[in-house]
Amino acid sequence: MPESLQEKCGVFGIYSNNANTDVTAMAYLSLFALQHRGQESCGIAVCNEGVMQYHTDIGLVPDVFSRETLEKLGKGNMAVGHVRYSTTGQKSRANAQPLVVMHIKGSMAIAHNGNITNAAELREKLELDGALFHSTNDTEIILHIITKKRIQSPSIETAIEQAMYEIQGAYSLVIMSPSKLIAVRDPSGFRPLSMGSLGGDIVFASESCAFDSIGAEFIRDIEPGEIVIADKDGPRSIKTHCGKPGGMCVFEFIYFARPDSIIEGASVHIARQRAGAFLALEHPVQADVVIGVPDSGLDAALGYSRQSGIPYGVGFIKNRYIGRTFIQPSQEERDRSVRIKLNTIEATIKGMRVVLIDDSIVRGTTMRRIVNLVRESGAKEVHLRISSPPFINPCYFGTDIDSRENLIACKMTIPEIRDYLGADSLGYLPVENVTKIAQNAKCNFCSGCFSGKYPVPEPLPFAKNKFEHKIGRVVN
């Protein structure tokens, strides 16, 4: 498990009836806007009159796609894009998405954000039926199941509808067939997925900020359990799986989403400010300045400052050219990497009683180094405030927390964590307030990693690399 929370994936799709729309360029620009959701790998698949071209690789969007690479993808009327952070399957070129398959009824490309909780069971069953796998991610399992249903079904949307009875867990999907673009959201709605319009074109994306990047207009969120089909006749929906109780991952508002996104009718930026305001009410302190850890701690720090009346200050400069997955093997190098990624502004901190705001504490090692940086810059006191409750349970639905073993809140009391981090005081957002931060959101929330109460039955534990090892039975 990483020292801090890691991103989920980001998906994008566009269907166009306009020959002048460059769907490849639209996908490329949108992936830039979604880059915060995954920096391990990325890819784009383009459909031109039923023929699919695609390119995927390890790396950031500008590193994977050159002008020449984009030109080779050619022009088409549909495109699907993906940025990846792995929650099942390790970082490798084989696990990059979209995944593309060809079968007797055509071809299909799929991009997935989420985590399938019955993936091991499904994969074993598929393997024993003769299925061959080229990757170790759970997206390929979805691909196999839909393809199997498609061969027996009159349409791709019918195949997807039937596949959803077998697939459990979190999934927001964008699927491209030779003639249709389809957006799918799991019945619990764990992951965000929305629909927009670009002229007469239909676009789908994990976050509304992707629409802003290409000048598209946000239309609405895809409903939990909904299948939306875009083709030459326009968009239409299948809602067989809608109406079930569920809940979006509340950490989309705390950390994962970009602050300029609107999710389920609520502003991420405002939600983080509200989290900071709740912190100020629950954990007041006498201090001189409030600073936030970039990026998701900044809005919460502003909210704390406004509620408490303590001045807000810029305490850190972040190196934008170091990825969030930048990790070095030795303790000394890890300490150095924090200094490369973050540098304090001494003029803001020196001689001050500082309220330091961040979004979460997972293992505690990174936060300990950040508190130490603030101390070294001359802070008289460091009062740490966290805009989420303590992590005390695994997440089975896409956040990279697969066990309680390395969670600091499972091993120490809050006073012990405070002392370990070197802070003068420590306050977390109360669990009863975490679902209140997204004011007027049109959804329920999953806060199981904080409360232990999940919107669906708790699945069996599994490891991120569960498909890196042999599974299933040996058949003679």
Count of beta carbons in the 10 Å neighbourhood of residue 390: 21
Count of beta carbons in the 10 Å neighbourhood of residue 136: 20
What CA–CA distance (Å, rounded) separates 97 from 113?
10
What CA–CA distance (Å, rounded) separates 76 from 17?
10
Query: How far is residue 449 from each of residues 1, 140, 409, measured CA to CA in Å?
Result: 14, 26, 11
187 burial (CB, 10 Å; 0-12 / 13-18 / 19+) is: buried
Q: Catalytic residue positions?
A: 9
**Nearest residue to 34 (alpha-carbon basis) of 6, 62, 9:** 9
80 close to 32: Cβ distance less than 8 angstroms: no
**Nearest residue to 346 (alpha-carbon basis) of 376, 310, 380:** 376
What CA–CA distance (Å, rounded) separates 227 from 182?
7
Query: The tokens 């031109």 sit on which residue?
Result: 48
Taking each helix axis from N to C end, the angle separating 296-308 and 268-282, rounded to the nearest 10 degrees, works out to 50
Instruction: State both tokens at 371.
Output: 């508190």
**Nearest residue to 391 (alpha-carbon basis) of 3, 86, 89, 93:** 3
Instruction: State both tokens at 434.
Output: 């975490």
Bridge-based pairing state of the strands 99-103 and 342-344: unpaired
311 close to 474: Cβ distance less than 8 angstroms: no
What CA–CA distance (Å, rounded) separates 389 from 209?
27
Ramachandran angles phi, psi of 89, nearest 5°: 90, 140
132 burial (CB, 10 Å; 0-12 / 13-18 / 19+) is: exposed
Instruction: State both tokens at 73.
Output: 């993808």
What CA–CA distance (Å, rounded) separates 327 from 335?
10
**Nearest residue to 214 (alpha-carbon basis) of 35, 23, 21, 26:** 26
